[in-house]
Structure 1
Amino acid sequence: MSRTELRSVDPDAAPSDLGPEQCDGERPPAVSPPRRGRAPAARAAVTRSASSAWWWAALPVLRSMVSSAGWAHAAHRAAPVLCRAPAQLGALLWLVQGVGLLYWPTATAAAVAVVLIVVGSVMGLRGRGGVIALAGLVFGVGVWCLPAVVVMVVAAAQLVLGALVLAVPVARAVYPHSVRGRVRTGFGTDGWAGWWDLHRHLSAHSVRAAAVATRPSLAARVTPPGTDARPAPGRVERLPVGECGTWLGTSVVGPVLGTDCYGAHRDVIGQVAPPQTGKTALMGHHILDHCGPVLATSTKVDLFEHCAGGRAQRGPVWLFNPEGLGELGSSVWWSPVAGCAHPQTATERAGHMVGAATSGDDDGDRWDDWSASVLAALLMAADLAGRDMSTVAQWVFDPSSDPRQGGAAEALVILQRAPQGTVPTGTVKSLRQILATDARKTRDSIFMTLSRAVQFMTDPQIAALATPGPGAVEFDAEAFVSGQGAVFLVGSDRAHATVAPLLAALTGHVFETAKRVAATRPKGRLDPPLGLFLDEAALITPVPLDRWVADAGGRGIHIEWAVQSPSQLAQRWGARGMDTIWNATNVKLVYGGLTLDDDLEKVSTLCGHRHEPAPTGDGSEKYERVRVCPPDRVRRLPQWHAVLIHRATPATVVRITPVWSRTDLLPAPNVPALVEPAPSTMESGSGDAAGQAAA
């Protein structure tokens, strides 16, 4: 067969399907695909251009004109003029005239016409009243000749305008004392994000565009069939904004009309707020509206009570409440030992548990590393031998080097007897070195750290949720990140026997599973994204946030954390960790009530400066550079207000509404408890909840 004949054979055709023409080396005539007509293509191009011009140019321009801060400046200049006596007297006359035209149009028209004619005649003697007299004559004749509908419209317009002008002095006196007025007058309009800044970076339009660019499922929904695979602008702008971003509040400075601000799911959101100032009230909105699976952590059950009912409409809801706070039992259990036969899983799990039991001080890094290495070896040994977390706790509390005593040396024997290649050599060596060391102080320090990491196992109620139970279904993280469910982790921050290591390990397990699953998805992202909402992150779920925030958004993992002050970040993750978290957080919401100078100064600096005119006395213009938001104003932010700082966008102040004010809230579903809360825990939990509600 010649080279020409080789090229003429269809590789997908069977030998019997080859016709004589193909066997003889002649290629059959090519059949050209049907061509699209020029008219449909031109029509589609014109439609796309018109849609783009309307949605992305004309409509934003109209909205910017309506919301321009220039209206506020014009109103500020016009208010003193409208409050003067001549303007108020004229408005009163207009109001009386409008009432007269509504009820007695003929008599009112005659009276007004006579008055204007008389006034014009009197002024006409001096050569200035001809126009007024003519106006009176035209007005009187016009009212008699025009239809009644036109007279009614004129009367209504006079009523409205007169009432508005008369209301200006009252509004001017009352407005500065309202919440919105205090914010407007106290924070001003200059220097904050303008309408176009918000539109480009924080609007529903911006988060829709970002979601379509990063989520293949949304891109397919907004791309019409048979086109050149470009999203249709109209379809993009009609996407439900809740599927594309997170509502951050309504701006109350800058544009004269409030603009709803949104953060994209690829952004990391951080809330800094003292207790009882609104961070949990906003996070509840985010949990309810998130389009993908949700993991939420808190020290109270209020997030579960507000959000579980709404999340149950999307998928299954689980509650992991080891301490039985709020008299609610847990509906799911999870073993920290599961999967630790894999060295990487054991190392990650141990790092999360040890990190949650220690502070962010650099002095403890050496002991933390050794402790995590030992705990990883113990977890691996337990999983290889089919043991559970209670065995790991027993090994930690008995760091004996004699395997006959059943202490930690038993784990060393299990690792040594494991099949070759199952356990890394370094794991066995590190555990043997620690158990056999003569430096008793070193070993005691390491196992003291480990004892804090597994101290939760001393509580039988908590231990029951960390060990396999008969008939109970274990939490499946891989199925969770691929679905639409929600899991709520609840625990208190106690000085001793804290449950934080267990919750941090479970949260870390979900995060690592999400990363692994995202690597197999298009664009390396979860679609829809996983939402991690970490309320009181420094207290109850001290995960390695300084490493997570670096690339979580690029994997389809949306992280939102909330702390009471920046110092909490430094206390938990250290000074360098705090800087990393603060810089990598794209959206920062800072509420009022902070009192430390460093915290207030940091926020004020991020808000920037503006130039204000300053009097010189010689008639020349001079401008001085002042803070947009001085530190004292950051402290005095009203309730349900926060400073919003987003990437390189100028700052703004937003107003939020509490989640419990929503009309679509549903009662929390009844979750079957695997372990009933202990009486003491129930009493303390209900008492804490009552105290928090009273506060």
Structure 2
Amino acid sequence: MARGSNRRNQPGGFGEAVALWVAIGAIVSALVLVYAGVRIGHELAGIEKTPTDPWAVFFGVLDGSVAWPTESWIVFGIGAVLLAALALIVYRAATGRRGKGTRVDWTSTYLGKGREVEGISAKEARAKAERWGVKSEAPGLAVGRTVAGRQRLYASWEDVMTLIAGPRTGKSLCYAIPSILAAPGPVIATSNKRDIVDATRDVRAATHGEVWVFDPQGVAGEEPTDWWWNPLSYVTDEVKASTLAGHFAAGSRAADAKTDAFFEPAARDLLAGLLLAAALDKRPLTEVYRWLTRPHDDTPVDILRANGQPMMADLVFGVIESPEKQRGGVYGTAQQMASCLTNRAVLKWVTDDGTRRRHFDPAAFLREGGTLYSLSREGRGSAGPLVTALTVAVVEAAEELAKTQPGGRLAMPLVGVLDEAANVCRWRDLPDLYSFFGSQGIVLLTILQSWAQGEVVWGREGMNKLWSASNVAIYGGGVKEEGFLEQLSKLIGKYDLIARSTSTKANAGMFGSGVSTSRSLQRERILDVDDLQALPKGRAIVLSSGNRATLVETLPWTEGPAADAVRASIRAHDPQAEKTIRDTAVDVESAEAAGRRWQEAAR
């Protein structure tokens, strides 16, 4: 990039230039009004001798040598009113546009715009959709609108995304809900709140098939009266048994919990063996927990041997025959991992009660289309492991389906919105798989409240891998982590500041001005850590593959074509519908209000 394209004068120069032009405009306006008053006024008053030189007219009026009749006053007054009205209109238009801005908008001049963000432009996203044969009204998932140039940006149907933003920064309003609405095919969404379900379920049901709400902890008040899902249907071999056990291990552990280097992996392996035994023998999931409470029960060992799993049988047998304290520690740890199975409300969603409810089939869901919402809350007994398991089951089914379709990618993309991923969907392998999903038509948006949340689940290296693998990475403000913000500030880059200094010389002589001006070039960060920490609501920083970092205005669902349908869905399902809609309106207006306050303060 050429350095000159990122150069900015020392602050204050712009204001001086504006003042100079205002002064020039005032002088020219006065000259024009006086000249028009004399010429037109003299014509109306019947005065024949009128100078034609504007300067002669102006100074003649001042010294009294040029007549200034009443008609001239009338013309002058009318002209002055018209000029004042025009100036007011221009001022209102200028301040109105600036009033909607924020204190960081000036940086958009030095961030990506135009061709510098062409890779995520609407044109590029639409071209990719046409190339892959994706029929969709939206060219991709909306990322935002550039502050400089007001260019809409989109993640294409082969991009995976990560959003980091603190509480109350508009994550659902501007990203989760709009992404669900924009999806042309099946959608999976996770959350610990009911808002995205209430806002989108009726809209999706009217256009994209059946809606499934997996709500084991009653987050949205949904009851398992129509369908259920058996996690053991996912377990077809020892690999998937180990994967499911990993979900239980990750989802049941507190964020600040310390793990034991021996008991943790041993308990996970034991749980995997029991899950595989229950799946092979067509037993309910509750049987797994019953076995965990009976360390001497060798029934799982017999089942595994009878079904051609001698190694897994030996693993379980080895734990059963281990010393009492060791056995107790492994079984006790495994019980904690599967603690959500002691919750009767949770079990209704994952066990067959004999009422002929439909069983959820991930492969059929992908073929038929629809929307799957999976909800849970944090804390002891959380259904997070089951939410993760169901999400992974659908994504892996999508991978299998993609293998059978042209180009090894889904003809109709699967959109996954993993809201509160670090709390309710702790998918440990996600960073390792992230970069492959986009090429298969699996478009994921992972939403986190902070960088630290991601490190708790995936570790420092895993979180770095997830962030780097994201084709589109978004920071939406509200984070106070200095390390992350420092890294982000460096990625955004610097601009060239032309600093100006003035000095006065003593005894400059008769013809010397005594004033000298020097200029120097300095490199300054476009957005420093404190700017990023206080990023105004309604603004986001976007980093994307092959493009410069850019500042965008976020796009709430209230600006979308389905806004009325979303409000209707909220009213139909949200117990506090009117308050929710009212709060949404406040959130949308807050960025403009903040901009106006900062503009007034600047004045």
Normalised TM-score (structure 1): 0.68
**Residue ranges of structure 1 left out of the alignment (5+ in a row):** 1-68, 101-105, 128-132, 134-156, 219-238, 401-406, 673-681
Task: Give the aligned partner of residue 189 of structure 2.
Answer: 296
Alpha-carbon distance in 1 for matches of 2:501, 2:13: 24
Is the contact made by 1:293 and 1:485 (CA closer than 8 Å) also made in structure 2?
Answer: yes
Q: Are the structure 2 counterparts of residues 111 and 590 from structure 1 closer, same or farther at C-alpha, using a change threshold of 3 Å? A: farther
Question: Structure 1 residue 116: deviation in Å?
Answer: 11
Task: Give the aligned partner of residue 455 of structure 2.
Answer: 570
Which SS does the other structure have where 2:564 is aligned? Answer: coil
Structure 1 residue aligned with 2:104, among 183, 198, 203?
A: 183
Is the contact made by 1:359 and 1:571 (CA closer than 8 Å) also made in structure 2?
Answer: no
Q: Are the structure 2 counterparts of residues 121 and 266 from structure 1 closer, same or farther at C-alpha, using a change threshold of 3 Å? A: closer
The structure with the largest strand share of the pair is 2
Deviations 1:109-156 (A, max 9, x none): 9559989954538839999xxxxx9xxxxxxxxxxxxxxxxxxxxxxx
Is the contact made by 2:301 and 2:314 (CA closer than 8 Å) also made in structure 1?
Answer: no
Alpha-carbon distance in 2 for matches of 1:664, 1:485: 17
Task: Give the aligned partner of residue 144 of structure 1.
Answer: none
Matches within 5 A, 1:538-577: 538-544=422-428, 545-577=430-462
What letter matches 1:79 in structure 2? V
Deviations 1:78-122 (A, max 9, x none): 6334432x5246558989999x9xxxxx98995599899545388
Structure 1 residue aligned with 2:244, among 324, 327, 349?
A: 349
Question: Structure 1 residue 415: deviation in Å?
Answer: 1.4
Alpha-carbon distance in 2 for matches of 1:637, 1:274: 11
Alpha-carbon distance in 2 for matches of 1:381, 1:446: 18
Task: Give the aligned partner of residue 521 of structure 2.
Answer: 623
Q: Are the structure 2 counterparts of residues 96 and 612 from structure 1 closer, same or farther at C-alpha, using a change threshold of 3 Å? A: same
Task: Give the aligned partner of residue 360 of structure 2.
Answer: 475
Could you say which structure has the larger radius of gyration?
A: 1
Question: Structure 1 residue 374: deviation in Å?
Answer: 2.0
Question: Structure 1 residue 593: deviation in Å?
Answer: 2.3
Which SS does the other structure have where 1:482 is aligned? Answer: helix
What letter matches 1:165 in structure 2? A
1:378 to 2:267 alignment: no
Structure 2 residue aligned with 1:453, among 324, 333, 337?
A: 337
**Residue ranges of structure 2 left out of the alignment (5+ in a row):** 1-7, 61-65, 67-78, 503-515, 588-603
Alpha-carbon distance in 2 for matches of 1:159, 1:479: 72
Task: Give the aligned partner of residue 318 of structure 1.
Answer: 212
- After TM superposition, the structure 1 stretch with the greater mean CA deviation from structure 2, 442-451 or 539-548, is 442-451
Deviations 1:321-380 (A, max 9, x none): 111124333453111111424334323322322232347899656544433332222122
Alpha-carbon distance in 2 for matches of 1:126, 1:109: 16
Which SS does the other structure have where 2:299 is aligned? Answer: helix
Task: Give the aligned partner of residue 391 of structure 1.
Answer: 287
1:264 to 2:183 alignment: no
Structure 2 residue aligned with 1:209, among 95, 104, 127?
A: 127
Which SS does the other structure have where 1:323 is aligned? Answer: coil
Q: Are the structure 2 counterparts of residues 540 and 114 from structure 1 closer, same or farther at C-alpha, using a change threshold of 3 Å? A: farther
Q: Are the structure 2 counterparts of residues 168 and 93 from structure 1 closer, same or farther at C-alpha, using a change threshold of 3 Å? A: farther
Alpha-carbon distance in 1 for matches of 2:42, 2:275: 95
Is the contact made by 2:119 and 2:546 (CA closer than 8 Å) also made in structure 1?
Answer: no
Question: Structure 1 residue 289: deviation in Å?
Answer: 0.8
Q: Are the structure 2 counterparts of residues 386 and 164 from structure 1 closer, same or farther at C-alpha, using a change threshold of 3 Å? A: same
- After TM superposition, the structure 1 stretch with the greater mean CA deviation from structure 2, 318-327 or 108-117, is 108-117
Alpha-carbon distance in 1 for matches of 2:500, 2:170: 40
Alpha-carbon distance in 2 for matches of 1:573, 1:623: 43
What letter matches 2:283 in structure 1? R
1:120 to 2:88 alignment: no
Q: Are the structure 2 counterparts of residues 613 and 346 from structure 1 closer, same or farther at C-alpha, using a change threshold of 3 Å? A: same
Which SS does the other structure have where 2:412 is aligned? Answer: coil
Is the contact made by 2:541 and 2:551 (CA closer than 8 Å) also made in structure 1?
Answer: yes
What letter matches 2:357 in structure 1? A
1:425 to 2:326 alignment: no
RCO comparison, higher one (Cα < 8 Å, 6+) = 2
Q: Are the structure 2 counterparts of residues 543 and 175 from structure 1 closer, same or farther at C-alpha, using a change threshold of 3 Å? A: same
Task: Give the aligned partner of residue 87 of structure 2.
Answer: 165
Q: Are the structure 2 counterparts of residues 517 and 486 from structure 1 closer, same or farther at C-alpha, using a change threshold of 3 Å? A: same
Alpha-carbon distance in 1 for matches of 2:325, 2:388: 28
Deviations 1:464-489 (A, max 9, x none): 11102321001110011223300111
Task: Give the aligned partner of residue 65 of structure 1.
Answer: none
Q: Are the structure 2 counterparts of residues 87 and 459 from structure 1 closer, same or farther at C-alpha, using a change threshold of 3 Å? A: same
Task: Give the aligned partner of residue 277 of structure 1.
Answer: 169
Question: Structure 1 residue 301: deviation in Å?
Answer: 0.4
Is the contact made by 1:274 and 1:593 (CA closer than 8 Å) also made in structure 2?
Answer: yes
Q: Are the structure 2 counterparts of residues 443 and 548 from structure 1 closer, same or farther at C-alpha, using a change threshold of 3 Å? A: farther
Deviations 1:50-93 (A, max 9, x none): xxxxxxxxxxxxxxxxxxx99xx999786334432x52465589
Q: Are the structure 2 counterparts of residues 614 and 669 from structure 1 closer, same or farther at C-alpha, using a change threshold of 3 Å? A: closer
Q: Are the structure 2 counterparts of residues 344 and 118 from structure 1 closer, same or farther at C-alpha, using a change threshold of 3 Å? A: same
Structure 1 residue aligned with 2:415, among 531, 540, 555?
A: 531
Deviations 1:156-200 (A, max 9, x none): x99998644345566777876x3405233xx434420121112x2
Alpha-carbon distance in 2 for matches of 1:657, 1:97: 51
Matches within 5 A, 1:3-14: none
What letter matches 1:415 in structure 2? L
Alpha-carbon distance in 2 for matches of 1:446, 1:94: 93
Which SS does the other structure have where 1:356 is aligned? Answer: helix
Alpha-carbon distance in 1 for matches of 2:451, 2:286: 36
Alpha-carbon distance in 2 for matches of 1:566, 1:125: 68
What letter matches 2:564 in structure 1? T
Which SS does the other structure have where 2:531 is aligned? Answer: helix
Which SS does the other structure have where 1:284 is aligned? Answer: helix
Task: Give the aligned partner of residue 25 of structure 2.
Answer: 87
Is the contact made by 1:97 and 1:158 (CA closer than 8 Å) also made in structure 2?
Answer: no
Which SS does the other structure have where 2:474 is aligned? Answer: strand
Question: Structure 1 residue 413: deviation in Å?
Answer: 1.4
Is the contact made by 1:91 and 1:166 (CA closer than 8 Å) also made in structure 2?
Answer: no
Question: Structure 1 residue 531: deviation in Å?
Answer: 1.0
Is the contact made by 2:34 and 2:58 (CA closer than 8 Å) also made in structure 1?
Answer: no
